[in-house]
Amino acid sequence: MEEEAEIDRLPIDLLAHILVMITSFTDLAQASGVCRKWKHGVKQALARRHTLSFAGCKMDDESTSRLVRHAYSLEELDISRSRWGCQITDNGLYQISLAKCVSNLTSVSLWGMTGITDKGVVQLITRANSLKHLNIGGTFITDESLSAIAHSCPHLKSIVLWSCRHVTESGLFVLVNKCRKLGSINVWGTRVPLDCFIGLLTIRPALQIKPQGLPLNVGAVATMLPVV
């Protein structure tokens, strides 16, 4: 009779603790296929994870949403587009929005996801009410997404709108007015006029508007506002 391997004697909780340390989702998928015990261990490992990053991975809607659904303790989610092309669409964002962890997410990055639109972003954001940090730079979102963020994310502290060229000053004003904890906003590459940023600072003087090279500060606001 073949002697049981040492690793097979590990309690499933300890096995899951080891598998949590694996960052490669390909390796996790292979580990899941070893046996039934390892499959349960992978599920437990995912359930314990507080962060998931698919940056550098070639993912699609189905594989991404399946992993997120198992990550019950998830707080930080990064599905930024990489050179390998993380192909997430609105359907993927919809599937992710149904995961139990979404209401606990504090950080989400959708950077460079050109396959998504307002439809998917709104679906996800309206359920991510604990969000504090959001990166949707390099996407084609519009003021519709900003409105959803403004009304659904009262705890938002920072947002990256890098090169979001369909965002207008109207959307930015709604965002800054509603998100009273917002302290940092990256507007590099947007097409809004400089006067808009001056106006945002009149609403929230402590707001950090990036990039830092923009000639904006509280002193500039004071000198540019008309004397009454």
What's the pLDDT tens digit per position in 34-85? 787 777 777 777 778 898 888 767 788 988 898 899 889 999 999 887 555 5
What's the pLDDT tens digit per position in 95-148? 999 999 999 999 999 999 888 999 999 999 999 999 999 999 999 999 999 999
**33 and 102 part of one domain:** no
Alpha carbons 228 and 217: distance in angstroms, whole number: 20
Residue 1 within any structural domain of the chain = no
**121 and 143 part of one domain:** yes
Alpha carbons 199 and 213: distance in angstroms, whole number: 17
Q: Which domain holds residue 108?
A: 52-224
Question: Which strands sit side by side in the sheet containing 133-135, from one edge to the other?
Answer: 51-53, 76-78, 107-109, 133-135, 158-160, 184-186, 208-210
**201 and 172 part of one domain:** yes
Residue from 196, 195, 193, 197 nearest 212 by CA: 197
**104 and 194 part of one domain:** yes
**127 and 148 part of one domain:** yes
Q: Tell me the average pLDDT of the chain.
A: 84
Q: How confident is the model at residue 13 (pLDDT cuts 50, 70, 90)?
A: low
**194 and 104 part of one domain:** yes
Alpha carbons 99 and 228: distance in angstroms, whole number: 53
Residue 145 within any structural domain of the chain = yes
Q: How confident is the model at residue 226 (pLDDT cuts 50, 70, 90)?
A: very low
- What's the CATH code of the domain at 121? 3.80.10.10
Residue 2 within any structural domain of the chain = no
**136 and 180 part of one domain:** yes
70 vs 152, residue with greater confidence: 152
Q: 């930080």: which residue's tokens? A: 76
Give kind and range of the element (H or E) at residue 90: helix 90-97
**117 and 144 part of one domain:** yes
Confidence (pLDDT) at 110: 94
Alpha carbons 66 and 152: distance in angstroms, whole number: 24
